[in-house]
A and B are shown apart, each in its own frame.
Chain A
């Protein structure tokens, strides 16, 4: 079992873990909004070419139980999902002339956990 921050074959992305392996949508959105476009593009350019390989690799893991380094990798992909509209559409971190996203309060977010177990009202209702 790998003891690395990320699975060995994705060690090249480890530099992004501290900033982008964030468990909550709010934290990922905040990170997007507090980053420069250069920072967003650097992360996008590093992870996007690896996505096919990452998704292929992740196929072997069940949804809710996985080693910690795999969980960090998944959270990196969710940050890519978060920043994609900024990079591909807006050309700036936030929505242009948009309603403030901090006032737009998310709830009921699926959680990725490296241990079994779930809390009521998080994730899917039914298994």
Chain B
């Protein structure tokens, strides 16, 4: 039985990306503690990681703290008095206490360690040491907070835990970063967030959001009229694989069947379910790059753990933060244009609740899958042509890790 054509170029995805092969993909990287140790060292301590958006720290002194287990680091990201965003290891130069304990806030220009009052300014300089005369040749200028590389792209703040990052953020994001430029991320400032900790590998979790094959099964109830009739099993109409990152589109139903509430919500503006339907609008160049008919949305996977999914009217992100080989902190954020009326907020609340319920369906399989993988009753995943993004993801991870080749990037 031959594999049918997918996409618009008359080929299967396997023919478009022959370097990925078509063979089964090993399960071991999702259950092996040794593999995960290498992922920490060779991926999460080496590459650019998204930690938030500039709107989260709009004013001088605003800060965020990200505890990144897979990077074995606590990182303080702060906007300085000069407006510049800087990042530091959140560790006091004296005896190592975390300088900031809460997750976010605003400081008045100074971070004072709770342990002995050592104080740092927002540029990371050590500016005050109580009882300084009792130390031995203490040079305060040499003992500021340890900087962490930080840069922004389209308002997203990225850090890199490597003392000397191998490439700039712009180089790292490459073509994907260029193609998405212009999306109005900075205008969609109403955000709704969730997080959960699940007993699952970060890769198994991320894989659940990189194919449309599951939609007809997992979302049979919450998204019953998803996709066009001709594409009931959500074959991917467009896929672009980069060196590390990937981008793909899904198509939507041109004739959705709204429920009574959806019909009401549609009168208030675009909602999540309308955005999942086929878009007929003229779209700007950063959306629907493959000019897919009945386009619905684009999924942008920024290696290793950051998804930016863009729709015509909102966007949402996922972060998959490994806590252990089989534990993941999953962050989900929806971003809408600010509601200007109470009724728009009602519409957004419906979008949020429907989307949340669909995600509860998505997450339902993860822990069960991880438990089964750990039994080692089977050794490989079998992937079809429209699971090409999962295949690419595992390949890129292995290129960095080098578990099978003994090398690593």
Contacts and interface: CB of A to CB of B under 8 A. Distances in A.
Interface of A: 25, 48, 51-52, 55, 58-59, 61, 63, 66, 74, 77-78, 80-82, 84-85, 88-90, 95-101, 103-110, 120-121, 123-127
Given A48-B264, A84-B261, A123-B190, 16 more contacts: A55-B342, A63-B341, A66-B342, A78-B349, A80-B261, A81-B261, A82-B349, A95-B360, A97-B361, A97-B364, A98-B357, A99-B359, A107-B193, A108-B193, A125-B55, A125-B191
B350 interface: yes
A61 B342 contact: yes
Given A55-B346, A58-B342, A78-B349, A125 B56 contact: yes
Contacts of A80: 261
B96 interface: no
Contact of B346 (A81, A96, A101): A81
B119 to A, nearest CB: 23
A41 B366 CA distance: 31
Contacts of A66: 342
A96 B194 CA distance: 20
B356 A88 contact: no
A44 to B, nearest CB: 9
A51 B55 contact: no
Given A97-B364, A124-B189, A125-B55, A105 B195 contact: yes
A16 to B, nearest CB: 16
Contact of A104 (B58, B191, B264, B360): B360
Contacts of A59: 341-343
Interface string B1-27: 000000000000000000000000000
Contact of A110 (B56, B198, B345, B353): B345
A68 to B, nearest CB: 15
Nearest to B334: A108
B342 A88 contact: no
Contacts of A55: 268, 342-343, 346
Contacts, number: 131
B224 to A, nearest CB: 7
Nearest to A106: B194
Contact of B196 (A77, A104, A121): A104
Contacts of A120: 105-106
Nearest to B347: A81
Contacts of A82: 349, 353
A107 B194 contact: yes
Contact of A89 (B221, B264, B268, B342): B221
Nearest to A86: B357
Interface residues of B, number: 46
Contacts of B342: 55, 58-59, 61, 63, 66, 74
A63 B364 contact: no
A95 B350 contact: no
Interface in B363-381: 363-364, 366
A105 B196 contact: yes
Contacts of A99: 196, 198, 359-364, 366
B278 to A, nearest CB: 21
B222 interface: yes
Nearest to A71: B342
Nearest to A49: B260
The 5 closest A-B pairs by CB, nearest first: A99-B363, A98-B360, A81-B349, A81-B350, A88-B259
B409 interface: no
A65 to B, nearest CB: 11
B33 interface: no
26 contacts: A48-B260, A52-B264, A55-B268, A55-B343, A58-B341, A59-B343, A84-B259, A84-B261, A89-B222, A89-B224, A95-B357, A96-B361, A99-B359, A99-B361, A100-B360, A101-B356, A103-B198, A104-B356, A106-B193, A106-B194, A107-B193, A108-B191, A110-B192, A110-B339, A120-B105, A126-B189
